[in-house]
Amino acid sequence: MPDSTRTILLATDMSLHSSVAIDWAVEHLIRDGDHLVLLHTVQETPLNVDPDFSDIGMSAVCADTEAMQEIIESARASLQATASDLRARLAKRSDIHVATEILCGAPGPSILAKVQEHSPAMVVVGTHGRTGLTSLLMGSVSSYVHEQCKSCPVILVRSQMMMDSR
């Protein structure tokens, strides 16, 4: 019998859009035996980026400043709270493991690096649903991951659609 354990990467920026994506995954996707990885990336400021690594966005280039460490610890606490809530919601299900990871750097490349590391069955990302000029000007982590990820499906959960269905 094949192993039914799946790894699912749940990328979150701690926004309502990410929360809706996690809710969607709980309702429609997560099953017994899954291994969930909640991933949050702390964006570095341009002044804190090592110039030799600024374009790859990896955690190794995270500046070791006191302010950045406070930001990381705050993000870690928020991510742990999200994970605790998720574990409580999934408590009646069997053998679901929830792990958390904090990275420093550009969110898109950081998520893709974790995809390579974990080889997940899929990635779930919330999206604001921006299009056109707004998307072009503000950028979109979800679009970047969707376009660049070649090793597994990327599920984009548009928060407005989810909220309208409630």
Going from N- to C-terminal start, the domains of the chain cover 7-164
| CATH of span 7-164 | 3.40.50.620
Give the pLDDT score at 3.
Answer: 58
Q: Is 10 helix (H, G, I), strand (E, B) or coil?
A: strand
Q: What percent of the chain has pLDDT over 70?
A: 75
For residue range 36-75, what is the model confidence (pLDDT) as tens digits? 999 999 987 554 444 444 444 444 445 557 888 888 899 9
**Does the pLDDT value for residue 8 go beyond 60?**
yes
Residue pair 103/135 in contact by the 8 Å Cβ criterion: no
pTM: 0.79
- 85 pLDDT band, cuts 50/70/90, is very high
